Amino acid sequence: MTASSHLRRHWRAASDTQINLALGNARASVSAFSTATAEHGSLIQNWIAAREVLEFEHYPPDDLVDVRRGSQFYYHSHRDGDQEHGHVHLFWHATATGHRRYLKPGKPRWNRTEPTHLFAISLDARGLPVGLFTVNLWVTDGHWFDAATTMACVDRFAMGEIEGYEHACNWLTGFVRLYRPLINELLVRRDRRMARRSDLAKALQDRNLEVLSSTPIDWIADMDALESESVRRGM
């Protein structure tokens, strides 16, 4: 594979400040990934903690939740084929209008709705991210937002350092920020696909529609492309 043409175009047109920001996120994410792999064997090994991986089970078992930032994720595996071993589902705790949903101490985390799904990251058996995808509402439940509102949630997604998973949390936070342009494109494609359906409410529950948009990624090639862009600018 090669670097994403979408990302290359985005970085070519970006300001020096934006490139610096992307480099910062990239370095943080790569460093956290490298440390997690050295300490635990891989991101996946960190989450499964020597357990056998069972289809549909969540790893870690209760998900990782940053209550202060309203962010949540977990890893699981249930799809056959290609490069994917499993995937990370990312959620953000939003109200029906897309604002931050604050959780009250001692109260149940959710009453009428579940956290809203943002997108998912496919990992190979070594824990390397190899793809991104979006899913239909019935797959995860929660609120359904258009691409712009979902991106506002993505921009607020951040995982503080949860004990035992510090590097995984840092990897994910940096990775989401780094891949923002591609995530946005993925969500726009998701919306375009759903816009072709005459009845959105029905389409959101259509069991024949599961993955709505997806893209393979080559993280190593993307990092080369970003560093080349910074070198080209003499940064």
Amino acid at 123: L
Under the criterion CB under 8 A, does residue 166 sit at the interface with other proteins?
Answer: no
Span of 12-20, 49-57, 149-157, 158-166 interacting with other proteins by CB under 8 A: 49-57
Using CB under 8 A as the binding rule, whether residue 232 contacts other proteins is answered as no
Can you tell me which of 12, 18, 24, 34 binds other proteins, judged by CB under 8 A?
34
Residue 221 Cα distances to 1, 5, 17, 18, 218, angstroms: 8, 11, 22, 19, 5
Residue 190 CB contacts under 8 Å (≥ 6 apart), including other chains? 134, 147, 212, 213
Q: Applying CB under 8 A, which of residues 2, 16, 55, 82 lies at the interface with other proteins?
A: 55
CA distance 144 to 204: 9
Tokens of 20: 């610096």
Instruction: Choose, by CB under 8 A, the member of 7, 19, 22, 44 that binds other proteins.
Output: 44
Distance CA 9, CA 164 (A): 37
Q: Which of 176, 170, 186, 182 is nearest to 155 (CA)?
A: 176
The mark string for 108-147 relative to other proteins (x by CB under 8 A, - otherwise) is -xx---xx-x--x----xxxx------x--xxxxx-----
Q: Which stretch binds other proteins (CB under 8 A): 9-17, 25-33, 156-164, 190-198?
A: 25-33
> Assign residue 53 a region: left if phi > 0, alpha if psi is -120 to 50, beta otherwise?
beta
The residues that touch other proteins, with contacts defined as CB under 8 A, are 26-27, 30-31, 33-34, 37-38, 41-42, 44-45, 48, 52-58, 61-63, 72, 74, 76-78, 85-86, 89, 91, 109-110, 114-115, 117, 120, 125-128, 135, 138-142, 207, 219-221, 223-224, 226-228
